[in-house]
Chain A
């Protein structure tokens, strides 16, 4: 069940206020703070979930990348720390398989039976199967990138937060704790 952004904020604020002496937190302030904490907490929860291989798949999202000269710009929500766990497909030719390579291995190429891809800053770079690494690259067309991503703040408060239920509850819990001033930089430790 998808949960709206405003529902998550309301749940976290309500939970955080439970049992708090009135002189320690104002619900009026909490509603301001909860929203500014949301992206920070979402980032922390996403990173903690991604660190667990069993949970990492929860964060994987499909992204259609249009290659021009073998390159495409990655979206901002891509969790770069776990980019190596991404997969790449050519939906118009599923017989083509791609595997991730670190950049030094990407430019050296290798077994040409597989296509290869890498990340250079915010750029996805792709070499198709049987092709050599060239400068510039030659791959073109659409590819499907399945990659772990952080949970983003939606555009509107009524919009659903794009996160599975398993992470939504973690997010509410972490946001609650952070509102109580208990979350530090190692935010997601409680989830």
Chain B
């Protein structure tokens, strides 16, 4: 199911925490906080410009995406999943997927390009040597083999062509999605992590230092959980700006 929380929901939550939203009393603040889409005129911070919020939110999303993409078999890889172009034996691994989007994280399964339900496996013992023997003496094996190995920059395999499952993150596309106030790329349950990562990054000189550290701790814990393969994001109650002592 696609996410329902939008980029501007995150933007409003982050803006509130650094006192950036327009509004001098609760009702005015409520109007700004609930407005969608938000625009630069809805922000009045003298130290953090509107575009910095966008960049920091997308920066947080990139970090979360990288953590997910770095974790094999993580269920949230489904939000980032793609395939490489079909690769012949000996081809270099591409930097982009078959749609030209940048590949991030570790690879997933290697599948036969003609039949993606047939997954190739890597021989546990001497994978490169085993496949090299196959390459040089193909007539020895009349039954189809589904093996691959990655060594150096490339991939060798025993099929005509294979495709490698991978994760992608396209900053330009997400930037457009942000501008259009579309749903966040990752699952809704990561909204607290989006907010925490963003607030952790919204620090300038000595402004919001203590708050930033608190949110950074929560964000780091979330990222660590993701890298451990977990998907349960703890809903830690974090004190907002009003409960923080004034920055030193």
Chain B residues with Cβ below 8 Å from A103 are none
Q: How far is the CA of A170 from the CA of B112 in the complex (A)?
A: 33
For the complex, would chain B's binding face be called helix, strand, loop or mixed by DSSP majority? loop
For the complex, would chain A's binding face be called helix, strand, loop or mixed by DSSP majority? helix
Residues 28-59 of A contacting B (Cβ, < 8 Å): 28-29, 31-32, 35-36
Q: How far is the CA of A9 from the CA of B145 in the complex (A)?
A: 12
Does B143 lie within 8 Å of A157, measured CB to CB? yes
Tell me whether B185 is interfacial, beta carbon within 8 Å: no
Tell me whether B1 is interfacial, beta carbon within 8 Å: no
Does B124 lie within 8 Å of A35, measured CB to CB? no
Chain A residues with Cβ below 8 Å from B121 are 27-28
Tell me how many residues of A have a C-beta within 8 Å of chain B.
Answer: 16
Does A32 lie within 8 Å of B144, measured CB to CB? no
0 or 1 for each of B140-166: is its CB under 8 Å from A? (1 = yes): 111111010000000000000000000
Tell me whether B59 is interfacial, beta carbon within 8 Å: no
Among A28, A29, A35, which residue has its beta carbon within 8 angstroms of that of B142? A35
Chain B residues with Cβ below 8 Å from A32 are 123, 130, 133-134, 141, 145, 147
Most A-side CB within 10 Å, residue of B121, B123, B143, B145 = B143
Does A29 lie within 8 Å of B143, measured CB to CB? no
Does A9 lie within 8 Å of B130, measured CB to CB? no
Among A5, A31, A155, which residue has its beta carbon within 8 angstroms of that of B145? A31
Tell me whether A135 is interfacial, beta carbon within 8 Å: no
Chain A residues with Cβ below 8 Å from B141 are 32, 35-36
User: How far does the Cβ of B187 sit from chain A's closest Cβ, in whole Å?
Assistant: 33
Does A28 lie within 8 Å of B122, measured CB to CB? yes
0 or 1 for each of A98-138: is its CB under 8 Å from B? (1 = yes): 00000000000000000000000000000000000000000
Chain B residues with Cβ below 8 Å from A154 are 142
Q: How far is the CA of A116 from the CA of B47 in the complex (A)?
A: 109
For A23, give the chain B residue with the smallest CB separation: B124
Could you write out 21 A-B pairs with CB less than 8 Å apart? A5-B143, A26-B125, A27-B121, A28-B124, A28-B130, A29-B125, A29-B130, A31-B145, A31-B147, A32-B133, A32-B134, A32-B141, A32-B147, A35-B141, A35-B143, A36-B140, A36-B141, A153-B142, A155-B142, A157-B142, A157-B143
Which residues does B use to contact A, with CB under 8 Å? 121-127, 130, 133-134, 140-145, 147
Which residues does A use to contact B, with CB under 8 Å? 5-6, 9, 26-29, 31-32, 35-36, 153-157
The 3 closest A-B pairs by CB, nearest first: A26-B124, A157-B143, A28-B123
